[in-house]
Amino acid sequence: MEPHSVLNSQKIPSRSRAAWSRKIFTLIFMVSIGLNIYFILHNNPDAPAPLETATEVAAKSEPVPVAPLPAVPVPAAVDEAAVEKKTPAPALPVAPRKKTKLERVEVKRASFSSQDFGEGKEIHALHFKVRNSLSFSTCRIMQEGCEQMSAYISRLLVWFFDVESNMRNGDSVHLVYEKLDSEERFKILKLVYKSEFAGKTFQANFYRTGELDYGVYYDQEGKEIARRIAGEAAPIQDYQEITSLPGDFRGDRGGHAGTDFKAEVGTPIFSSFEGKVTRTNWNIRSNGYCVEIDHPREGVKTLYLHLSRVLVKPGLYVKKGQKIAESGNTGRTFAPHLHYEIKGRGKRKRIYNPFEFKHLTTFNREIPTQHWEDFVHTVRLYDQALNES
């Protein structure tokens, strides 16, 4: 194929001649730049000096004054002056070592006579600081029963502050307890807890008067630490202690929905408000014998579980304070108690704490005047046990 006629009139330069022209021009340009840099560096007094080695800089530089470090006490074993003179150095005061983690301490018998607490009682004392969690700290110093002891301590502290969010590393725990031969294993007699969060010390002293079937925990001023539901609205009046509150964690079952009142089988149970019995004895395998009452006026339902006897039937209207059942140990339970639950009526399953519910009145009992001196004497025995342990 012949090339187009327009191309015949054009003169196409040789490729080799053009390439050599570009190379010569590039070489001249590079030499020119190099000469300019050379004259700038050697004729400009402000140009930076060539880099020196670290050794040359150190030889020419003058020492920089440095403020002396504060003296730190050094143990006598490494005192340099004493080593040079071949004489022992005097002992220097050494700041106490900060404990980064709790040291293991064995549970020890208190160094006081347990006869003051009654014949045959085995009394012990513990002192430790909180690290990571109460359960972790307790198990670091107790070989057996630490989880149970931790639960007992938490059960008392819950009346003072939120154990889950307000407990801090470094909080101090001091307690006197009795070792039992029953499943309960321990009975805390006195708890002293110094809270960093609250900036105060809390106390719980176990004391039992002749008028009560069960002992009660009081603070140092003789005021019961646990609150009670007042009047006819109380679902149970005679109970040993409250062992669980709404929200307590129950492992794989999640949070606890009710309040557990530890009581003997057959203790009377009452309706907190006026209402209609909606159902009884459902899911007996878990709840045992149980009662549910609807209270439209208060906008809630109340549940009573683990009963030994049910005295009402579905559809029956009951009055506030009416006896509806007796406490027991039926269903999924480890000890006799009443599970008392307040929940919303709607589809939204809201659970209420009875000690914070607006339709219930609570109070704290105080040591009767006639028992004050005996209470003070008991507290002094506990304090003696702590100081001598």
The DSSP annotation for 201-260 comes to: EEEEEEE--TT-SS-EEE-TTSBBSS-EE-GGG-S-SS-SEEEE-TT-B-GGG-B--SEE
Inter-axis angle of helices 134-141 and 146-157, nearest 10: 140
Domains of the chain (ranges, CATH numbers) = 108-226+378-388 (3.10.450.350), 229-363 (2.70.70.10)
CA 318 to chain centre: 42
Q: If pLDDT is split at 50, 70 and 90, which confidence band does 328 have?
A: very high
- Is residue 58 predicted with pLDDT exceeding 50? no
Closest CA to 356 of 245, 250, 224: 245
Tens of pLDDT, residue by residue over 347-387, are 777 899 999 999 999 999 999 999 999 999 999 999 999 99
Q: Determine the pLDDT at residue 93.
A: 44
Contact 280, 312 (CB under 8 A): yes
Mean pLDDT to the nearest integer, 177-188? 90
**In which band, very low, low, confident or very high, does the pLDDT at 42 lie, cut at 50, 70 and 90?**
low
Residue 246: predicted pLDDT: 85
Least confident span in 13-17, 27-31, 294-298, 319-323: 13-17
* C-alpha radius of gyration, the chain, whole number: 41
CB 330 within 8 A of CB 284: yes
For 245, counting Cβ atoms within 10 Å of its Cβ (0-12 exposed, 13-18 middle, 19+ buried), the class is: middle
Q: What local confidence, expressed as pLDDT, does residue 114 receive?
A: 54
Higher pLDDT, 235 or 253: 235
Q: Indicate if the pLDDT at residue 326 is higher than 90.
A: yes
314 pLDDT band (50/70/90 cuts)? very high
Whether the model pTM is above 0.75: no
* pLDDT for the residue numbered 197: 94
Tens digits of residue pLDDT in 206-247: 999 877 778 999 999 999 999 999 999 999 999 989 988 887
Rounded CA separation 81/192 (Å): 48
Average model confidence (pLDDT) across the chain: 79
Token pair of 183 as six digits: 């499943």
Give per-residue pLDDT as tens, 104-158. Answer: 433 444 445 555 676 668 899 999 999 999 999 999 988 789 999 999 999 999 9
Residues of 157-193 as b/e, b for ≥16 C-beta within 10 angstroms?
A: bbbbbebeeebeeebebbbbbbeeeeeeebbbbbbbb
